Chain A
Amino acid sequence: MTKGVSNTFKKRNVNLTETIAKIFFLVCSLVSALTLFIIIYFIFTNGVPAMFQVGFLDFITGRTWAPEHNYAPQFGMLPMLYASLISTFFAFIIGSRIGKWCAIYLAFFCPKKIYKPLKTMIELLGGIPSVIYGFFGVAVIVPFLRNNFPGFGNSLLAVIIILSMMVLPTVINLSEAALRSVPKHFFEGALALGSTKTEAIFEIVTPAARAGINGAFVLGIGRAVGETMAVIMVAGNVSQMPGSISEFFSTSIFFAPVRTMTTGIALEMSYASGLHRDTLFGIGVILFTIIIILNISLTILNRNETNYAKES
């Protein structure tokens, strides 16, 4: 008996089309992935040298953005970084809460009859282009702020309101999916121990869905920090920030116009040249880095969490 005629199990495919097809699909997926590296390469090779030419610290912490000054142009992007971060922070605080509550309603309290239209509406809210949100800001929010509060209406507060609205659909849809994927016995177990429906949901189910909800939040933050058009239309676009700690903690900062990183890029790119243009790529590098940090932090945040949404 000849024992062990080894037959390794890789397909010995004589069919040429099969092989060509496989290679074709592989190349396509490599090309798709490659685009990311091309984008990173071009933005970083232009942005990073400019950052160091200005001086990295001066670039990040400088408070004056005066790129067109003839003798001593200044490239301090701190006001834009400040505006991006603070508007995103408040939009996140507002949008994530409201979004989470809304998701809880959709997942557990919504009567069957109105669920479908309601869900469709929320999905539509996510499909509205950002220029329309911006337009809504110009038509409604800015005039309202101008008439009722100090300032001209184009302000940090307007940006925060618009961004809170814009992150809602992302947060709602993803959080709802996360809540729904939590195994039913969590909920039933809590009820069996005497919890009320709201206690079971707020104290047992929602924490169990944390991984998915965190994902929703991070995506929402990403959307807010990267938003350009809606912000450009309501922000006032002045590159400035509070001068002192006490000013920072006063309400006046909300009524002052701001310029975020994204709007800085969009507004100046069309006419900038030389070092000025390259510093705009430098802002792009910072923005890119923030997005990458967000993604990494989500991975770290969810390291010890069970993501039911992914498992199912």
Chain B
Amino acid sequence: MPNFTIKNANLYYSDFQALKDINLNINDKNITTFIGPSGCGKSSFLRCLNRMNDLVDGARVTGKFLLGNDETDIYKISDVSELRKRVGMVFQKPNPFPMTIYDNITYGAKMHGIKDKKKLDDIVEKSLRDVAIWEEVKDRLKKSALGLSGGQQQRLCIARTIAIEPEVLLMDEPTSALDPISTIKIEDLVGNLKKDYTIVMVTHNMQQASRLGGHTAFFLNGEIIEYSKTSLLFSNPKEKQTEDYITGRFG
């Protein structure tokens, strides 16, 4: 059951074509990883899914991006805020806002109109429990989020995103700035979250992709070369280029 269907997507930065005719079905309540060498377009594609490319001067997207059961074309939504509430994003480097942990979590909820104190408290507790740092931070909710460790910060950022209950969670190499132990913790967390969310993750790390399972798409030069079940893609790649990449011959 696809949650996000992309048909004939192209992305241009001014004259440069960054993505060429992408077709992809992203499955509901599952995890989809994007792999490929740097500059292959995997991150650019991720940013098409919540229209972050809107912010880039000269960026232009064509094609269909149909989200959810109602198959809304996300580029026909007039208010991007509505889209980004449904499609959340976690970045490469943890980027908590320079405010308290509590305010970080409630930032999105308040913006989308929730004012009730009790409700906000509940959201904070639930989101932090979901990312498994509630116990660690429950006594310092009113302290600055910048005092947390890198791994904690990244989990806070995930909590901040799921606090507004998105359908899809986009993650752009969420562990690349973290140490190995924090990385494992985030991976475990992502494994749990896929029960409730559709997760799309860009990763540089092929072991990570195979550990997470689900589906994997291999990007090269702005195209999807191969897309299949992760286990299948790594054990039995159909394309020569995929095989070269996963066996470390380039990239």
A–B direct contact (CB < 8 Å)? yes
Chain A positions near chain B (C-beta within 8 angstroms): 1-9, 11-15
Q: How far is the CB of B80 from chain A (nearest CB, A)?
A: 7
**Chain A residues whose C-beta falls within 8 Å of the C-beta of B56 in the assembled complex:** 9
Cα of A14 to Cα of B63 in the assembled complex, Å: 23
Q: How far is the CB of B198 from chain A (nearest CB, A)?
A: 22
Chain B positions near chain A (C-beta within 8 angstroms): 7-8, 10, 53-54, 56, 59-64, 73, 75-76, 78-81
On whether the beta carbons of B64 and A5 are closer than 8 Å, the reply is yes
Closest to B61 in A: A7
On whether the beta carbons of B63 and A5 are closer than 8 Å, the reply is yes
Closest to A8 in B: B60
Question: Which residue of A2, A11, A13, A14 contacts B64 across the interface (Cβ within 8 Å)?
Answer: A2
On whether the beta carbons of A1 and B8 are closer than 8 Å, the reply is yes
Q: How far is the CB of B245 from chain A (nearest CB, A)?
A: 28
Cα of A5 to Cα of B78 in the assembled complex, Å: 15
Cα of A15 to Cα of B61 in the assembled complex, Å: 23
On whether the beta carbons of B59 and A7 are closer than 8 Å, the reply is no
On whether the beta carbons of B8 and A15 are closer than 8 Å, the reply is no
**Chain A residues whose C-beta falls within 8 Å of the C-beta of B59 in the assembled complex:** 9
**Chain B residues whose C-beta falls within 8 Å of the C-beta of A15 in the assembled complex:** 79, 81
Cα of A9 to Cα of B7 in the assembled complex, Å: 18
Given contacts A2-B64, A6-B60, 8 further A-B contacts (CB under 8 A): A1-B7, A5-B73, A7-B60, A7-B61, A8-B60, A9-B54, A9-B56, A9-B59
On whether the beta carbons of B8 and A11 are closer than 8 Å, the reply is no
**Chain B residues whose C-beta falls within 8 Å of the C-beta of A4 in the assembled complex:** 8, 10, 62-63
6 inter-chain pairs at a CB distance below 8 angstroms, sorted by A residue, are: A4-B63, A5-B63, A6-B62, A7-B61, A7-B76, A9-B53
Cα of A173 to Cα of B59 in the assembled complex, Å: 41
Closest to B51 in A: A9
On whether the beta carbons of B54 and A11 are closer than 8 Å, the reply is yes
Cα of A11 to Cα of B10 in the assembled complex, Å: 19
**Chain B residues whose C-beta falls within 8 Å of the C-beta of A3 in the assembled complex:** 8, 62-63
On whether the beta carbons of B79 and A5 are closer than 8 Å, the reply is no
Cα of A307 to Cα of B220 in the assembled complex, Å: 38
On whether the beta carbons of B78 and A9 are closer than 8 Å, the reply is no
Cα of A188 to Cα of B71 in the assembled complex, Å: 61
Cα of A8 to Cα of B61 in the assembled complex, Å: 7
Cα of A12 to Cα of B79 in the assembled complex, Å: 7
On whether the beta carbons of B54 and A5 are closer than 8 Å, the reply is no
Question: Which residue of B60, B61, B78 contacts A12 across the interface (Cβ within 8 Å)?
Answer: B78
Closest to B65 in A: A7
Closest to B75 in A: A7
Q: How far is the CB of B210 from chain A (nearest CB, A)?
A: 33
Cα of A225 to Cα of B56 in the assembled complex, Å: 44
On whether the beta carbons of A14 and B79 are closer than 8 Å, the reply is yes
Cα of A1 to Cα of B60 in the assembled complex, Å: 20
**Chain A residues whose C-beta falls within 8 Å of the C-beta of B63 in the assembled complex:** 3-5
Q: How far is the CB of A2 from chain B (nearest CB, A)?
A: 7
**Chain B residues whose C-beta falls within 8 Å of the C-beta of A13 in the assembled complex:** 79
Cα of A13 to Cα of B54 in the assembled complex, Å: 12
On whether the beta carbons of B7 and A11 are closer than 8 Å, the reply is no
Cα of A1 to Cα of B78 in the assembled complex, Å: 24
**Chain A residues whose C-beta falls within 8 Å of the C-beta of B53 in the assembled complex:** 9
Closest to A1 in B: B8
Closest to A4 in B: B62
Q: How far is the CB of A9 from chain B (nearest CB, A)?
A: 5
Closest to B81 in A: A15
Cα of A7 to Cα of B54 in the assembled complex, Å: 10
Cα of A201 to Cα of B56 in the assembled complex, Å: 42
Cα of A6 to Cα of B64 in the assembled complex, Å: 9
Closest to B64 in A: A5
Cα of A8 to Cα of B54 in the assembled complex, Å: 9
**Chain A residues whose C-beta falls within 8 Å of the C-beta of B10 in the assembled complex:** 4
Closest to A7 in B: B75
Closest to A10 in B: B54
On whether the beta carbons of B80 and A5 are closer than 8 Å, the reply is no
Cα of A9 to Cα of B10 in the assembled complex, Å: 13
**Chain B residues whose C-beta falls within 8 Å of the C-beta of A6 in the assembled complex:** 60, 62
Cα of A11 to Cα of B54 in the assembled complex, Å: 7
Cα of A7 to Cα of B78 in the assembled complex, Å: 11
Cα of A250 to Cα of B54 in the assembled complex, Å: 69
Pairs A-B, 4 closest by C-beta atoms: A7-B75, A4-B62, A12-B78, A14-B79
**Chain A residues whose C-beta falls within 8 Å of the C-beta of B73 in the assembled complex:** 5
Cα of A5 to Cα of B6 in the assembled complex, Å: 12
On whether the beta carbons of A9 and B80 are closer than 8 Å, the reply is no
Cα of A9 to Cα of B80 in the assembled complex, Å: 11
Q: How far is the CB of B56 from chain A (nearest CB, A)?
A: 8
**Chain B residues whose C-beta falls within 8 Å of the C-beta of A9 in the assembled complex:** 53-54, 56, 59-61
**Chain B residues whose C-beta falls within 8 Å of the C-beta of A5 in the assembled complex:** 62-64, 73, 75
**Chain B residues whose C-beta falls within 8 Å of the C-beta of A1 in the assembled complex:** 7-8
Cα of A12 to Cα of B78 in the assembled complex, Å: 6
Cα of A7 to Cα of B83 in the assembled complex, Å: 15
